Amino acid sequence: MAQSTTSPNTEVKIQDPNCIPWDPNNDIFPLRSQLPKNIPYHPDAPEDAAWTKANDILPNPSQTQTQHPVENLKCSIHYWSSPAQQPANSGLKEKAATGGISGRAILLDYWTYAQSTPGKAYDPYTGHPITFTDLLACAAYQGINISPASQGGDIQVGDILLIRSGWVDKYNTLTDDQRQRAANRHVHVFEPSPSQTKPEEGSQEWAGLAQDPLTLTWLHDSYFSAVAGDAPGFERWPSLETGPNNDGKGGWLLHEYILALWGMPLGEMWDLEGVAEVCRRQKRWTFFLASAPDIIFGGVSSHPNATAIF
């Protein structure tokens, strides 16, 4: 029987509470295989990096599992490398201590859309860039308009964006050996040149949002309060070296804008399978989402401790 909680402005009917976990036993997939476990430092981190003291001293390192990185204004790409003398600037402790993240979430189920579109070639375990045009088509398939409400769309200021790329669904179908081979591919932040890759090992690639001006502008103008997805990087990994103005002047990352410039939380490797199933069954794509990051002084990411409520 549904329970109801009434507020002055809305009523939440709790019919399908849905935890958004990532199984801690999935350590067979070391996404950042260079990260040590259960030791409070990273051999490649700067000597004054706060992360050497705060980020991975948990039993299950957050950078290798479901996580919610938060803003860090000290560095744009490596957002974990704020000086250890100023760990409070990382933002995680403040975000958690002030009530975490909660509000209306909207799911774009790109995986279901891609599988339902005849002739569409898509594999979440390749570097497939999900463009803004792709997102528009996915939204139309779901019957929603992802323009901001000020432009006549369905996106409200403060919404939380969730994108299901299919990464977790495919992960669940792989053998341990297949998972290990995929994880052991070389890691590159930007698209590697042929001389940087070993054909027999390959380069670690994952589908995600495209690094292009249209996608960036949409994310900015929608005024999301947070974004998250089931892919390891949320954005296409590695980044294509096109430059933010498509001028070919070096690669760039959505992380730089989302975290460092906007101060917006970004979630990676969220298990959205249960949420997507409920959305399809109820034929609705919005719901209440609550995320309570761990309170870690000097931390820059946390397990999301998230729950979707329909």
For the cut 70, the answer to whether the pLDDT of residue 164 exceeds it is yes
The dihedral of CA 241, 243, 244, 245: what is its sign?
negative
- Of the chain, the end-to-end C-alpha distance in Å amounts to 13
Residue of 98 and 232 predicted with greater confidence: 232
The mean pLDDT of 264-284, rounded to a whole number, is: 92
The mean pLDDT of 20-24, rounded to a whole number, is: 59
Mean pLDDT of the chain: 73
> CA 120, CA 116: separation in Å to the nearest integer?
9
Q: Which strand (E) or helix (H) includes residue 115?
A: helix 110-115
Q: Cβ distance 121 to 127 under 8 Å?
A: no
Could you give the C-alpha distances from 31 to 182, 186, 211, 246, 260, in angstroms and in order?
9, 10, 21, 29, 23
For the cut 60, the answer to whether the pLDDT of residue 262 exceeds it is yes
The one-character DSSP state at 191 is P
User: How do residues 176-223 score in pLDDT, each as one tens digit?
Assistant: 888 878 777 766 666 555 555 555 556 778 999 999 899 999 999 999
Q: What global pTM score does this model have?
A: 0.76
Backbone angles phi, psi at 108, to 5 degrees: -105, 110
The pLDDT value recorded for residue 135 is: 98
